[in-house]
Amino acid sequence: MDDDPYLWLEDVEGRAALDWVAERNAETEAALTADAGFDSLKSRLREVLDASDRIPYPVRRGAFLYNFWRDAEHVRGVWRRTSPEQYRKDVPEWEILLDIDALRAAEGEKWVWAGARVRHPAYDRALVCLSRDGGDAFAVREFDLATRTFVDDGFQVGEAKTRIGWIDADTVFVGTDFGPGSLTDSGYPRTVRRWRRGTPLEEAAPVFEAETGDVSAWAWHDSTPGFERDFVARSLDFFRSETYLLAPDDTLVKIDVPDDARAYAHRRHLIVTLKSDWLGHRAGSLLAFGFDAFLAGDRTAEVLFAPDERTALDGHSWTRHHLILETMRDVSARIEVLTPGSGDGGTVGASDASGRGWTRKPLADVPPLSAVTVVDTDPDVSDEFYLDVSGFLQPSTLYRGETGADTELLKQVPARFDTTGLTVEQAFATSRDGTRIPYFVIGPDRTTTGPGPTLLYGYGGFEVSLTPHYGAMTGRAWLERGGTYVIANIRGGGEYGPVWHQAALGAERPRAFEDFAAVAADLVARGITTPAMLGAEGGSNGGLLMGAMLTRYPHLFGAIVTQVPLLDMLRFHKLLAGASWIAEYGDPDDEADRDHLRAISPYHQLRADREYPPVLLMTSTRDDRVHPGHARKTAARLRELGHEVLLYENTGGGHAGANDNEQSAHNSALVYTFLWQRLTPVDGPPGL
């Protein structure tokens, strides 16, 4: 398909393209919303999203806990805050800072909350980010937290994929669209400037510039009292970057770590997460150096974590005197607290590879096949932390604690769906090359019910891990009705660290496809389902995975849902942020990569003479990350070839696909109705 007949569908807001999309949306709505159970399902899903007894997860900023909240009354949401004392109550009193619904009404703009950068350490002003209709691009406005109003003559930036952060009360670092030459090929800021209050944005002083072929440039100010420092960085591609200390005279001092490592300063430490072997340390290790000593040439590291074949780093967070370490063993969470040898957050001393300069102990007991997440900490002042624990059948529970003291249960979500008769297990499938692929199965005991409708979910890219979680929407829409839900931890993800991800990079991408297909085949072999009752779902990079299942393994599935998908692998780098993913997939303009990209491109592998399972493609007109043309063109091609396909394109929502709970519930109801219609035998699944 070198001569693509559907390029006109890449015109995001072109009249012809939008008219065509409207026709497809009408077909999809007619096919799915008329289902006898659609309205009831959508209503029950909306109840989950609007529930007033959800956990309002906090972010501490000084004396207050901040939260952004949506419900039936606040459709677009409110930004609010409360005190820690109030937060402990069942019904805290919240101070509303910004009401997005009221702002939309007053200004006539489809504003969507995109976050805020609160100035540290005063916590008196914020840089509020507002997206139009949910895209990645956003406008920036300075906000006064005392008066709860925007600052008329404050910092303001127009709509762009901006990078911005506070330096002091009157200065920010900013990278944005300054006109021709100021953006990279990926559409992100190429230059960083220092912008002083009261001066025009275009006159802000340049401090750093990346290359056009880089992904992005950015800068940040470390405002930790006693450790104030400035840094700039450039992303060479999605996985490689260079970081520099920006001296007071604006000279650059490179932080000399491997360009695929992640490095940052914390007080007297330099913390490095390795993605490849370095200085005798394995990829996936977490290292600590003395910051000043490192700049002086000392490469003596404390090993805070070293992986093995079954264990990987999942994250880490600082309190004032400790580091909380989250790890996974066979994709099941573990958490412990580490303390520097000095005990006061000071310089890390030398030690051998065991990291014995630090002490460590478990922070909390985590049930098997569960997830634990550090929601927030207070690294400036205290050893406070907020910890969320959940599982596939275990609603989220939020704890507050301080390292070295007992934790207290703060909030707990009530059960949202009936778990009677449901079980959770972890199993392993064997992929084509003999690799064991873990997967989770949630559902009824199929040894007693026989095979039933099953939904298999996967992602497999960018070192993203799929871990246990409480999915109330899936519970109500799928599990309560007798379905089985499966999550596949395929290569390309991060479940076993960088090596697991790198095994499916570039020309090796088919390994991820083979892994997912192996899980599908294993589910059938074990009697959990049949191909006719097995559905597959994935979004974004997972949408590419779904395209591969459609074109490579159509015999394994009875239906496929692909959301905000990446499907044209010969043009992805020319569409929106696509150039930033070349490091993951390869470069279509490079002859060395083009053949394998064509081979994995679902759009180019569709055929008239093959049988495909029915497909539902979901996307958004306002998705400015993965171009809606991927889904549009694939739907058009499938229609041309005579295959069953539905397309639904929400006009707003960005890459998330929805901006509010109403649209989220509608989208989910479309997906689960489509799957249930096509995967359930006429007489209903066994056991119902």
Q: Do 324 and 452 reside in the same domain of the chain?
A: no
**Residue at 293 is within a domain:** yes
**Residue at 144 is within a domain:** no
Q: Which DSSP helix (H) or strand (E) runs through 681?
A: none
Is residue 540 annotated as a catalytic residue, yes or no?
Answer: yes
3-state secondary structure of 119: coil
The mean per-residue pLDDT over the stretch 477-502 comes to: 98
User: CA 369, CA 332: separation in Å to the nearest integer?
Assistant: 5
**Residue at 627 is within a domain:** yes
Backbone angles phi, psi at 243, to 5 degrees: -120, 140
Per-residue pLDDT, 388: 96
Task: Look at residues 369, 387, 414 and tell me which one is the last residue of a structural domain.
Answer: 414
Options 131, 390, 540, 601, the catalytic residue: 540
3-state secondary structure of 54: coil
**Residue at 601 is within a domain:** yes
% of residues, the chain, pLDDT over 70: 97
Predicted confidence (pLDDT) per residue in 196-224, tens digit: 999 999 999 999 999 999 999 999 999 99
Q: Do 455 and 403 reside in the same domain of the chain?
A: no
The mean per-residue pLDDT over the stretch 658-673 comes to: 96
Per-residue pLDDT, 338: 96
Per-residue pLDDT, 406: 80
**Can you say whether the dihedral through the CA atoms of 284, 287, 293, 297 is positive or negative?**
negative
Q: Do 395 and 431 reside in the same domain of the chain?
A: no
**Residue at 110 is within a domain:** no
**Domain with 373 in it:** 274-414
Q: Flag whether pLDDT at 405 surpasses 80.
A: no
**Residue at 40 is within a domain:** no
Q: Do 454 and 514 reside in the same domain of the chain?
A: yes
The mean per-residue pLDDT over the stretch 256-272 comes to: 97
Query: What secondary structure does DSSP assign to 498-540, as a single string?
Result: HHHHHTTSGGGTHHHHHHHHHHHHHHHHTTS--GGGEEEEEET
Residue in this structure with the two tokens 């100010």, named with its chain if needed: 221
Q: Is the peptide bond before 121 cis (omega within 30 degrees of 0)?
A: yes
User: CA 512, CA 466: separation in Å to the nearest integer?
Assistant: 14
Is residue 316 annotated as a catalytic residue, yes or no?
Answer: no
Predicted confidence (pLDDT) per residue in 292-345, tens digit: 999 999 999 999 999 999 999 999 999 999 999 999 999 999 999 999 975 333
Q: Do 400 and 429 reside in the same domain of the chain?
A: no
How many domains are there within the chain?
2
User: CA 595, CA 615: separation in Å to the nearest integer?
Assistant: 26
Predicted confidence (pLDDT) per residue in 417-439, tens digit: 999 999 999 999 999 999 999 99
Q: Do 511 and 638 reside in the same domain of the chain?
A: yes
**Which CATH number do you get for residue 406?**
2.130.10.120
Q: Do 380 and 438 reside in the same domain of the chain?
A: no
Q: Do 433 and 381 reside in the same domain of the chain?
A: no
Per-residue pLDDT, 350: 35
Task: Look at residues 380, 414, 448 and tell me which one is the last residue of a structural domain.
Answer: 414
Predicted confidence (pLDDT) per residue in 267-299, tens digit: 999 999 999 999 999 999 999 999 999 999 999
Q: Do 396 and 452 reside in the same domain of the chain?
A: no
Q: Do 507 and 643 reside in the same domain of the chain?
A: yes
**Residue at 556 is within a domain:** yes
Options 316, 573, 655, 666, the catalytic residue: 655
Q: Do 541 and 664 reside in the same domain of the chain?
A: yes
Q: Flag whether pLDDT at 347 surpasses 90.
A: no
Q: Do 506 and 652 reside in the same domain of the chain?
A: yes
Per-residue pLDDT, 341: 77
Residue in this structure with the two tokens 């910051």, named with its chain if needed: 291
Query: Sorting pLDDT into bands at 50, 70 and 90, what band is 346?
Result: very low
The mean per-residue pLDDT over the stretch 71-91 comes to: 96
Task: Look at residues 372, 399, 414 and tell me which one is the last residue of a structural domain.
Answer: 414
